[in-house]
Amino acid sequence: MQAIILAAGYGRRMRPLSDRCHKALLPIGSTTILARIVDGLRELEVGDITVVTGYRAEDVERYLHERYRETRFQFVNNRRYDETNNIVSLSMGLQQMQLEHDLILVECDLLFEPRLLRKLQAPDAGNIALVDRYRTGMDGTVVSVSDGLVRAVFPPHMQGPDFQYDDKYKTLNIYRFRRDFCVNTLGPLLSVYANQVDANSYYELVLGMLTHLPAHRIAAGVVDGEQWAEVDDPNDLAVARFQFEPERRAEILDRTFGGQWDLDVLDFSFMRNSYFPTEGMLAAMRHALPALMKRYGSTQEVLNEKLGWFLGRDPRRLQTLHGGTQAFPILLELFAGRTVCVPKPTFGEYRRFDNANNYEDLPGIDFAELERTADRAEVVVVVNPNNPTGTTLPTSEIYALAARHPSKTFLVDESFNGFSAEPSIESALEREPLANVHVLVSLSKVLGVPGLRIGYVYSHDSDFIEAVGRRLPIWNMNSVAEYFLELLLKFRPELDASFEQTVRDREELGERLSALPGIAEVYPSGGDFLLVRLDAPQAAGAAVRRSLLAEHAIEVKDVSSRIPGAFAHLRIAVRKPHDNQLLTDALRSSLPVVIDQLAAVASASGDRLTSR
C-alpha cells in the first residue's frame, strides 16, 4: 500500500504553539506527532509516502528526510494552503502521485496506536473509513453508520444547533481507498469540485456524495478500545499527552488538580456522589442551559433563601458560598490572631491557619485529647467525618463539647456528613442554639457536582453570618448552580437513596480491598471514601499511584506523607460497583509488582523493607 499525509495547514487553532513550529512537529514524549504517524505506516510496511505540505514546508521536508533516510517520500507543495481547505491538498496529492497500490489517507494532526492501522490491512479490503462512537468534546466531521457502512457524512458546516450526535460516529480522518476508486472516481471528482466549485470545502463533502452510490460504498472500521486523538488546539495536545505519555500522567494530574473532564482517567482521587444528580436532573439542566448561560445569578439574599428551602433552615442563619473553599480566606481573616486547633491530618486548607495546634487522627480520634487541645485554643476545628481518614465522631459529643466551652469558637465541617450515620449538628443547634458553633459544608461531595461549586456556612451567631456576608461579592453564584439549587427541592427522595446506595457500595468496596494481597488494613469511614494502609513502606504509595495511572489510567490519592507511621496509605473514593471492580482488579495486578520492586531496590541498597 501507499500513503498520503495531509500536512499543509497553518494550524490556526493551535496558536501560539504553531506560530514557530508546524503543528505536526510538536513534541509528544520523545518524538513528534508526524513521526508517530510515519512510524505507524512503516509498521504496516508502507514505504512510499506522499506528504502534502504548505505551512513551514521546508521544516517538514527536512525533518522527514533526516529522520527517515530509507523511506521514500514525495512532497507536494500546496502554495495556496492559507486560502484553501483540505479538498485542494488531497486533490493535488492524488494528481501528482504515481498510484500503483491501494491508498491510506492520514491527516497530520492525529495520534494513534499503530495497531489501529491494522484494521486497514486486509488484502481484499475495499474503501474503509476508521470511525469511533461520538463523545462529548469531539469536533469535525461525523458520519452515520448502518450495516457496517458509512451512510451519510456531515462536515462541520452541516452540524447546526439542533444536530443530533447520539447515533453518530466521529471520523478519525484515516481512510483506505482502492486504487481504482482513487484514480477513476475520487481524484477526478475532487479536482472538479476544488477547481470549479469551492476550494474552501472539505474533501469529506465529496466522500459524502459518493456514499449514496452503491458502487462506491465506504465501510466503517469502528475503533474498539484503541487509543487515538485528534490534535486541533493546545487543549487537545494536553489531552493527547495524557493518553500517549503514560509515564507523565501523575505529573499532569498534579499540575491541573482538577479540570479532568477531557482526560480518559478513572478517578478515585476526588470524591463525589456517583448516584446524583439523577438523569432527570441532568435532562432539566441541559434544557435550561441556553437560557441560564445568558442570565446573571440572584442576590445573596435570594440565594440564602433558596438554600434554606432545601436545607429546611432559617435563611438568616446561612450564607451560600461558591464552594466550601470560598470560606477559608474569610475565616483566616475573621480568626486572625486567635489560636486554632485542627485535626492532623485533615483537609489541606485548614493548614493555612496561623497559631495552629493539632490533635491526632491516627486514624481514630481520642476525644479526651481533643478536649485537652481545645483547652489551649480559642478556635476548635472539627471535621466530621474527617478527610482523609474517614474518622467520624458522635455528633452529640461534639455538641456537648461546644456547650461545655461557650467562650471558644467551634467550626464544624460536615462536608461528608451525608454519607455517615451521624445526624448533622445543625439539627441539634436548631433545637438548642449555641452561638459559639459555626458549621461549614461543601455540598460538592454529597450532591455530586464539584464543577458547580456550592457550599455554605450556618451559624446562630448573627455577627458571624453578617461578617461573612459582607465579604462576599455580588453575583456570588452563577445561574447554572442557582438553578441546580432550585431543582434539588424536587429530588429529595433520590438524594437520600443516593446516600444509602453509596454507603452500601463503600462497605462492599472495603471488603474487596481487604481481601487483596498487599493491603494491610481498610479503616472504617463515614465519608464516600476509604483510607487504605498498604503492607509496604511509604514510598509504595506514590509508586502504586504511578503504576495504576500508567498501566490502567486509574487515579488514587497517595496520602502516605500525611498519616503517622512508616507505612504507605491510599485514599480511595467510592464509585459505582463496576468502577470499583476495575480498581480492585488493577490493584490486584499492580500491588504485588510494586511491592516486589521496592523490596528488590531495598535489598540491593542494603535496607530492610518495612513490613507488617
The C-alpha atoms of residue 191 and residue 203 are separated, in whole angstroms, by: 10
Using pLDDT thresholds of 50, 70 and 90, give the confidence band for residue 525. Answer: very high
For residue 596, CA distances in Å to 16, 192, 538, 603 come to 45, 65, 14, 10
Buried-state track 394-408, b at ≥16 Cβ within 10 A, e below 16: ebeebbebbeebeeb
- H-helix or E-strand spanning residue 582: helix 577-605
In this prediction the pTM is 0.86
Residue whose entry in the numeric block shows the C-alpha cell 459524502: 208
Q: Please give the grid coordinates belonging to residue 143.
A: 458520519
User: What 3-state DSSP class applies to 517?
Assistant: coil
- Domains defined along the chain, listed by start: 2-236 (3.90.550.10), 279-490 (3.40.640.10), 495-605 (3.90.1150.10)
Q: Average pLDDT for residues 89-117, to the nearest whole number? A: 91
The C-alpha atoms of residue 204 and residue 156 are separated, in whole angstroms, by: 10
Residues facing 219 on adjacent strands: 128, 149
pLDDT at 123: 65
Q: What is the pLDDT of residues 315-359, one digit of tens each?
A: 999 999 999 999 999 999 999 999 999 999 999 899 888 778 899
Of the candidates 20, 17, 19, 22, which has an alpha carbon nearest to the alpha carbon of residue 7? 22
Q: What is the pLDDT of residues 394-420, one digit of tens each?
A: 999 999 999 999 999 999 999 999 999
Decide which of 310 and 204 is more confident: 310
- Whether 507 shows a pLDDT value over 80: the answer reads yes
Of the candidates 364, 270, 350, 257, which has an alpha carbon nearest to the alpha carbon of residue 557? 270
pLDDT at 278: 95
Using pLDDT thresholds of 50, 70 and 90, give the confidence band for residue 605. Answer: low
pLDDT at 608: 53
Q: Please give the grid coordinates belonging to residue 455.
A: 457550599
Looking at the chain, the whole-number percentage of residues with pLDDT higher than 70 is: 98
- Whether 612 shows a pLDDT value over 70: the answer reads no
- Whether 212 shows a pLDDT value over 80: the answer reads no
pLDDT at 611: 44
- Which residues lie closer than 8 Å to 326 by C-beta, 6 or more apart? 453, 455, 472, 476
Q: Average pLDDT for residues 559-568, to the nearest whole number? A: 92
CA torsion 116-118-124-126 (nearest 10°) is 20
pLDDT at 606: 62
Decide which of 124 and 220 is more confident: 220
Half-sphere exposure of 235 (CA within 13 A, CB side): 9
Q: Average pLDDT for residues 266-271, to the nearest whole number? A: 94
Q: What is the mean pLDDT of the chain?
A: 91
The C-alpha atoms of residue 551 and residue 549 are separated, in whole angstroms, by: 6
- Whether 5 shows a pLDDT value over 50: the answer reads yes
Q: Average pLDDT for residues 122-126, to the nearest whole number? A: 72
**Edge-to-edge, what's the strand order for the sheet holding 519-522?**
519-522, 529-537, 567-573, 557-558
- Whether 609 shows a pLDDT value over 70: the answer reads no
Do residues 53 and 23 lie in contact, with contact meaning Cβ atoms separated by under 8 Å? no
Q: What is the pLDDT of residues 161-177, one digit of tens each?
A: 888 888 899 989 899 99
pLDDT at 436: 98
Using pLDDT thresholds of 50, 70 and 90, give the confidence band for residue 431. Answer: very high
Q: What is the pLDDT of residues 16-74, one digit of tens each?
A: 888 899 999 998 888 999 999 999 999 888 889 999 999 999 999 999 999 998 889 99
For residue 583, CA distances in Å to 225, 509, 515, 567 come to 18, 10, 13, 21
